[in-house]
Structure 1
Amino acid sequence: MAPHDDRSDVAEEAMVAEAEKRPIATIVIIIAMQTEALPLVNRFQLTEDLDSVFPRGVPWVRYHGIYKDLHISIIWPGKDLVLGVDNVGTVSASLVTYASIQALQPDLVINAGTAGGFKAKGACVGDVVLATDVAFHDRRIPIPVFDQYGIGLRKACSAPNLLKELNLKIGALSTGDSLDMSPHDESSILANGATVKDMEGAAVAYVADLLKVPVIFIKAVTDIVDGEKPTAEEFLQNLAAVTAALDQSVTKVVDFINGKCISEL
């Protein structure tokens, strides 16, 4: 094995620091469901990329265009080629995040979408939460050090000025590949201190961290996980209205970002 070169670490840190001082020019927004994506596609007047930057045969969809001073791409993982449902979950999220960063070299990634919220943490249906940190709750590996790897705790991009300007709620985000919550998941979510839970965020965070791209998480609450209504029923009942709230909040975030560099967020 070749010896580790500390000079490469220093050069990488210098590149990241320099990037933080440049105005943000290119944003990639990762959204899991078409219902969540289309209002923003229309809001930013984006067009579908018919000459795809992605490998042939994958169902992933890119909408792109220029909004104010920003090049914006909304990436939706598309629909399952056999079952025709949205490609939700961590596998699709990590793949499209990796492919999007490689192809588009964004200055910032935004993972936007709906999520379940916890009333014990003050969440209500319709709340929009800016995640402070993200972790997995369904990767249980009870071996020293591997247990922390499974949790995969990562910080979101620090954005104190954005938070102050838009008056969003903040909280931790916990990610797993199931819509419901098993007792094991509940225990892990409580340990993560999560205000909201989703099916993509920590996977996006892992890839963004790997490739050294800052990432922001914007999650709108469709259902109360520790409430009394069945999760699936409440999610479907509130999806349209909450997607509208998500659309408004993401637009405000993008408007705030326009003309700023990462260090000004």
Structure 2
Amino acid sequence: MAPAEDMVANPPSEAEETASAGVANTSPISTVLIVIAMHTEAAPLVSKFELVEDGDKSMFPKGVPWVRYCGKYKDLYINLIWPGKDPALGVDSVGTISASLVTYASIQAFKPDLVINAGTAGGFKAKGASIGDVYLTSAVAFHDRRIPIPVFDMYGIGAKETFSCPNLLKQLNLKVGKLSTGDSMDMSPHDESAILANDATLKDMEGAAVAYVADLLSVPAIFLKAVTDIVDGEKPTAEEFLQNLVIVTAALDQAVTQVIDFINGRCISDL
């Protein structure tokens, strides 16, 4: 296991070359893009996969704070992209706007065979979620894009089923649930109603945005979310999130590692 010396050049993925030739995709997955919102979530994976920070910013627009870690783990080229710190306020660039932008730019730059959006989320105890649970999401939707006009309302919700991974689920001990995404950590009555309508077990600030971009660019995407706080519990969300972030990130790290190990040597159709 060692960082790939040629990751900056980013060789085309075998799966992409095969697909572009009009042949059924039977090549093993070669290039994986991991999109992750917070440095605390990213750091253990950077260490685990021995990724190195790429100092060449030329593949991204000038001035953006986005950070790329890259390397080769087993037979996989891994690009882990963190949106970086907000230039003005110095906090993690969380939320749907940053997630959409970095996902789009990274897919364009690195041509991944698979996108993995890994991160933490709130969970609903009414749907069986507990602190530290890691979910592979089955569907995503937005809960804060309210457009009360026929058809536009459906566009605002943006409900999508995620890429199906029956073999991965059979192999790994992960829960399955739907994810609802919005740009606020707290939950207004309007948001709560929409989340219930989305039948969501999880609530985050990036997933559906990443799903929208991946779907737009026809790249399979999977979503791994670890529960840091119980949205319908008794503790304030922000307090519980900060209290559990580090320990839950360890569970997320383990799950992502298991998924990467499973993916290695397999084709998309094997998942």
- TM-score bucket (shorter structure): over 0.9
Equivalent AA in structure 1 for residue 117 of structure 2: N
Give the one of 175, 182, 199 matched to 1:193: 199
Contact 1:16 1:212 survives alignment (8 Å): no
> Is 1:109 the counterpart of 2:115 in the alignment?
yes
Give the one of 66, 72, 97 matched to 1:60: 66
Give the one of 39, 46, 52 matched to 1:41: 46
Give identity over the alignment, percent.
75
2:24 and 2:128 map into 1 onto residues whose CA distance is 36
1:162 and 1:17 map into 2 onto residues whose CA distance is 27
Contact 1:98 1:207 survives alignment (8 Å): yes
Structure 1 residues 95 and 16: alpha-carbon distance in aligned structure 2, compared to 1, 3 A threshold: farther
2:24 and 2:193 map into 1 onto residues whose CA distance is 39
Q: Mind listing any 5+ residue stretches in structure 2 that lack a counterpart?
A: 1-18
Which residue matches 1:6?
A: none
Which residue matches 1:9?
A: none
Deviates more, 1:254-263 or 1:16-25: 16-25
User: Which has the larger share of helix?
Assistant: 1
TM-score (norm 1): 0.93
Which residue matches 1:71?
A: 77
2:23 and 2:47 map into 1 onto residues whose CA distance is 33
Cα-to-partner distance string for 1:119-150 (whole Å, 9 max, x where unaligned)? 01000000000000100000011110000000
Which residue matches 1:139?
A: 145
Structure 1 residues 151 and 78: alpha-carbon distance in aligned structure 2, compared to 1, 3 A threshold: same
The 5 Å alignment of 1:250-261 reads 250-261=256-267
Helix, strand or coil at the partner of 2:201: strand
Structure 1 residues 16 and 213: alpha-carbon distance in aligned structure 2, compared to 1, 3 A threshold: farther
Helix, strand or coil at the partner of 2:119: strand
Helix, strand or coil at the partner of 1:21: coil
Q: How far apart are 1:21 and its partner, in Å?
A: 2.3
Equivalent AA in structure 1 for residue 250 of structure 2: A
Which residue matches 1:129?
A: 135
Helix, strand or coil at the partner of 1:116: strand
Which residue matches 1:11?
A: none
Q: CA RMSD in A?
A: 1.2
Which residue matches 1:181?
A: 187
Which residue matches 2:30?
A: 25
Instruction: Please list every run of at least 4 consecutive aligned residues from structure 1 whose deviation after the TM superposition is greater than 6 angstroms.
Output: none
Which residue matches 1:244?
A: 250
Q: How far apart are 1:33 and its partner, in Å?
A: 0.1
Structure 1 residues 150 and 17: alpha-carbon distance in aligned structure 2, compared to 1, 3 A threshold: farther
Contact 1:130 1:169 survives alignment (8 Å): yes
Cα-to-partner distance string for 1:180-227 (whole Å, 9 max, x where unaligned)? 000000000000010101000000000000000000000000000000
Which residue matches 1:3?
A: none
Q: How far apart are 1:17 and its partner, in Å?
A: 8.2
> Is 1:165 the counterpart of 2:167 in the alignment?
no
1:236 and 1:127 map into 2 onto residues whose CA distance is 16
Structure 1 residues 121 and 54: alpha-carbon distance in aligned structure 2, compared to 1, 3 A threshold: same
Which residue matches 2:214?
A: 208
Equivalent AA in structure 2 for residue 63 of structure 1: Y
1:202 and 1:63 map into 2 onto residues whose CA distance is 23
TM-score (norm 2): 0.91
